[in-house]
Structure 1
């Protein structure tokens, strides 16, 4: 297991020189992922000698394994603020990597100082509804990650009970691979695998209840965990219950058997695959820049998710 606080820390070639990652006093830029830039403390900064990382959520957006050239304003703030809000709701279930929000002013509102973790190489996915890659596997075999499901389910069907459907982490730009629970046991050991499954389902149950009270269905979500090197405790890392890591559906738009609009980047996906775009996702071509209308609709969807879940508008950065 790598010593990091986020899967985004696995950077593509040249990512450490990303022009989108600002220079920050007291911090050294060490890597960039699809969305986040990761910094380690320097010897002359206020966090010198501490085993922490600065995780900065950019406004970058990715789709179909491409990092798009057009950012979505305020997306990084939404991801950070929503993660922080959820961590407060879940703190009694599992500790998190969050140490402080006292970050450099240049990245205020979209960054967290986090303890380093020994991350498990597993995407811990919980599903309460059938859609996405789970639906594709179900249509082929009647299972999801090897778990048999009742016959007759369709797009957006509610499952009899939430299920743990893990995935093995892939390299940046590749698809994660859905795996069985026994594969997770092989990867991390039975005791750790059972702890990951139990904690994932407990977090999903709490989050689904909270979302439901606000008229939102949490169809599925993924969590990332690691061990705290100092204590050995299972610890929640990375982003938590954001539109990038979850499918949030408006409850009043949910109809089993039909796709449900979600609070995420679906506007981006739809435009990229539309005739108006003209981009072939099967090609090696880089996707074109997003039109302003798609950017603004996507931004509003992220902001709406934050405001409906928390009950508050996103606070402007001072």
Structure 2
């Protein structure tokens, strides 16, 4: 059960919605009035529970990483970011962004087999209707990256993998094709960048939208008509939306070391936590060593990928 704290009041902004990690506001005063203010909190969630414990600096790490990636991808697809001139209370972990008509599809690219994709493969030999070679194992590199979309679930529910045909029926064939192409282009660029830093990008989840009618987004090919005008929104290529693995530790056939909250999941499922996942109760507060290790993994991913010191 989700237990999301009340979002703080911010001068000049009206709270609209809170998710597991982010708080969304409408800017109601000043030159950016009408835009959205997206704030990344230090909250962390596992197994559909938002924990009472927070991870210091997590929101700022995710925001900085997204901004860095948006810059690396700007020649492929525009982003929703308008400004980083935000209220002082959330400076460093928030952005002002455009209102977009979001596509109701989680756009996932996979270059390696793991997670829900692995479960689907073990059951059917396919992922989202894409047949894969036999005898793949957890962590196997795929012959080529694949587009494996998912539904956008309600808060507290799991996204569900769907076929490409389901995306076509939801958004239309032209838009489905554009989303698939952009998703794979973004993954290819990011996978190369990460590999050069000794990191494997196993998979990533992207969210796209379009400016409302009358907007002036540029198409990936420089045009403005057809399925052009797609904009990359939300966060991008962070440890919360992607699986990053140390390349030197990659060994197919087992769970991989990762730069994300796996440390928290592993602790919660261990005997030392005293938590029973089937109880319906939220996990207990995290011990300091788990908090410190988790923060360190997020920071390591940020510094390795961007080359910037925290």
- TM superposition score normalised by structure 2: 0.93
Paired residue secondary structure (1:264): coil
Separation in 2, partners of 1:146, 1:271: 34
- Structure 2, unmatched stretches of 5+, are 218-228
2:226 alignment partner in structure 1: none
Pick aligned residue for 1:231 from 200, 212, 216: 216
Paired residue secondary structure (1:220): strand
1:142 alignment partner in structure 2: 125
Q: 1:152 offset after TM fit, Å?
A: 1.1
1:47 alignment partner in structure 2: 32
Separation in 1, partners of 2:47, 2:252: 26
Pick aligned residue for 1:64 from 35, 40, 47: 47
Aligned residue runs from structure 1 range 124-139, under 5 A = 124-139=107-122
Q: 1:260 offset after TM fit, Å?
A: 0.9
RMSD over aligned Cα atoms: 1.4
Paired residue secondary structure (2:10): coil
1:248 alignment partner in structure 2: 244
1:302 alignment partner in structure 2: 298
2:20 alignment partner in structure 1: 34
Instruction: Give a deviation string over 1:207-260, Cα, whole Å, max 9, x none.
Output: 000000000000000000011112361110000000000000000000111211
Pick aligned residue for 1:161 from 136, 139, 144: 144
- TM superposition score normalised by structure 1: 0.91
Pick aligned residue for 1:103 from 70, 86, 94: 86
- Structure 1, unmatched stretches of 5+, are 1-11
Pick aligned residue for 1:24 from 3, 6, 10: 10
Aligned length: 297
2:107–2:205 contact (8 Å) kept in structure 1:
yes
Separation in 1, partners of 2:276, 2:158: 18
Separation in 2, partners of 1:200, 1:94: 10
Q: Once superposed, which parts of structure 1, at least 4 consecutive aligned residues long, lie more than 3 Å away?
A: 12-15
Separation in 2, partners of 1:71, 1:231: 39
Pick aligned residue for 1:84 from 56, 67, 79: 67
Q: 1:146 offset after TM fit, Å?
A: 0.9
Separation in 2, partners of 1:198, 1:47: 32
The worse-fitting range, judged by mean Cα deviation, of 210-219 and 255-264 is 255-264
Paired residue secondary structure (1:223): strand
Separation in 1, partners of 2:274, 2:191: 38
1:273 alignment partner in structure 2: 269
2:264–2:294 contact (8 Å) kept in structure 1:
yes
Paired residue secondary structure (1:136): helix
Separation in 1, partners of 2:64, 2:105: 24
